[in-house]
Structure 1
Amino acid sequence: MSPEHVGTREPVNPLAPPGVYAPQEDTELLAGALSDEPIPPNADVLDVGTGSGALALEAARRGTRVTAVDVSWRAVCATRLNALMAGVPVQVRHGNLFDPVRGRSFDLILANPPYVPAPGDERPPRGAARAWDAGGDGRLVLDRICREAPAMLRPGGVLLLVQSALSGPELTLGHLREAGMKAAVTRRRHIAFGPVLRGREQWLRERGLLSAAEDREELVVVRAELPV
């Protein structure tokens, strides 16, 4: 997740209390990819790192059976409240990524994980920064999703994942293809640097993650499908 901009696409507008990741432009971009996905009403959907539950609510409004997971208890409580107010059923679980749903399989997995490269990557992120800080290369959580998501999908199942170009979409595609999935970038959007990236701009350029000419961040959606 990137703590940069609030998205405007309706109805991605749940309540996000302090300490809970609020819907932003990466949420909006992934919600657009979800709206394009031809999923049947009875599909089983998993939203990992649900935050305020924006994507879980979007999927539930289509009549799917949705499970949402977050490592933050505040996010779990917020998602339960937002689902109640929206009048849609969402099963919400507390835990780290796929841990609470081991042994289950899904038709669709949604993921807006932490993906912002962060200095001091030897220290695990704490507090609200857990929603965006992802180690020195931004792949602390992305690599785990690439390793574990294929085994959680049913034949023909789809993973929709949003990340920054700063954290290596080509690595994501490579890992997913190595796992036997058909993977491609299906959506892109350039956004202005927000407070976090502006604060790290010099460090990102020194690391070679930003060129001297770049003044915007690119977000991408990766779609990966498991063969039938």
Structure 2
Amino acid sequence: MSAATAALPRPRPLVTLPGVYSPQDDTWLLLRALYREDLTAGAELLDLGSGSGALAVRAARRGARVTAVDISWQAVLATRLNAWLSGQRVTVRRGDLTAAVAGRSFDLLLSNPPYVPAPGARRPRGPARAWDAGRDGRLLVDRVCDAAAGALRPGGVLLMVHSELCGPEDTLQRLSRTGMRAAVSDRALVPFGPVLRSRLPWLRSQGLLAQGQDKEELVIIRAEHP
């Protein structure tokens, strides 16, 4: 555990299901960024890719009106159960990113999308959908960037977490092209997890990791709709 993540509040999901992403360092980093935002009571928040619902439940506890979206039925069920067991009201939708909330706009958008580069051209299936994101790791990151401005109200904020392996500068530039004011607000070095360890030779062959590197940098991208 890195020093940057050690002090974060650690929500423990009451329900976990097979195939649903369990909260990890990226979750805690995004949660810390969320806690810095001025989340007024009744603010409308969209959690894209809710997984277990850890972030959605915490946002609801702060008084936000939360809508959580995930394409996985297991994640939808986990989020609903965790919200209910925590006594929090969260609207949960199954769908493909913002298509599940078409026509709506929000004050805050959270996203912890899949971002791990993966060999092969086939789209991930099963549990791997929670982390594999194409050869450059940007299969979902780019789509969140392109959808964010249309899902946010003026003054609304996107908070998105991903790894150095999929190009934070590319994310900043892509968001800027949509009119958003974007910057890296947080960084944290974390040890490799089992997925990265399992594909170290491939990642190194692609020039994504240096020989001897044993940690990856996670970043929070904060972008504001003017």
Q: Which residue of 2 aligns with 1:98?
A: 98
Report how far residue 40 of structure 1 moved: 1.0
Q: Residue 11 and residue 88 in structure 1: after superposition, are their counterparts in 2 closer, same or farther (change >3 A)? A: farther
Structure 1 distance, partners of 2:210, 2:187, is: 19
Structure 2 runs not aligned, ≥5 long: none
Structure 2 distance, partners of 1:8, 1:39, is: 21
Q: Which residue of 2 aligns with 1:3?
A: none
Give yes or no for contact 2:189–2:217 (8 Å, CA) kept in 1: yes
Structure 1 distance, partners of 2:77, 2:17, is: 10
- The yes-or-no answer on 1:21 pairing with 2:21 is yes
Structure 2 residue identity aligned to 1:190: L
Q: Which residue of 1 aligns with 2:115?
A: 115
Q: Which residue of 2 aligns with 1:83?
A: 83
**TM-score, reference length from structure 2:** 0.95
Give yes or no for contact 2:9–2:32 (8 Å, CA) kept in 1: no
Secondary structure in structure 2 of the residue aligned to 1:145:
helix
Structure 2 distance, partners of 1:199, 1:100, is: 33
Segment of structure 1 superposing worse, 216-225 or 11-20: 11-20
Structure 1 runs not aligned, ≥5 long: 1-5
Segment of structure 1 superposing worse, 153-162 or 197-206: 197-206
Q: Which residue of 1 aligns with 2:139?
A: 140
**TM-score, reference length from structure 1:** 0.94
Q: RMSD across aligned C-alpha pairs, in angstroms?
A: 1.4
Structure 2 distance, partners of 1:207, 1:7, is: 31
> How do residues 181-196 of structure 1 correspond to structure 2 at under 5 angstroms?
181-196=180-195
Give yes or no for contact 1:8–1:28 (8 Å, CA) kept in 2: no
Q: Which residue of 1 aligns with 2:72?
A: 72
Give yes or no for contact 2:10–2:28 (8 Å, CA) kept in 1: no
Q: 1:97-156 CA deviation, whole Å, 9 max, x = no partner? A: 111101000000000000000001x10100000000000000000001111111110000
Q: Which residue of 2 aligns with 1:170?
A: 169
Segment of structure 1 superposing worse, 135-144 or 186-195: 186-195
Q: Which residue of 2 aligns with 1:126?
A: 125
Report how far residue 11 of structure 1 moved: 4.5
Structure 2 distance, partners of 1:96, 1:192, is: 30
Q: Which residue of 2 aligns with 1:208?
A: 207
Q: Which residue of 1 aligns with 2:37?
A: 37
State percent identity of aligned pairs: 60
Secondary structure in structure 1 of the residue aligned to 2:199:
helix
Report how far residue 9 of structure 1 moved: 3.9
Give yes or no for contact 1:9–1:28 (8 Å, CA) kept in 2: yes
Secondary structure in structure 2 of the residue aligned to 1:98:
helix
Structure 2 residue identity aligned to 1:101: V
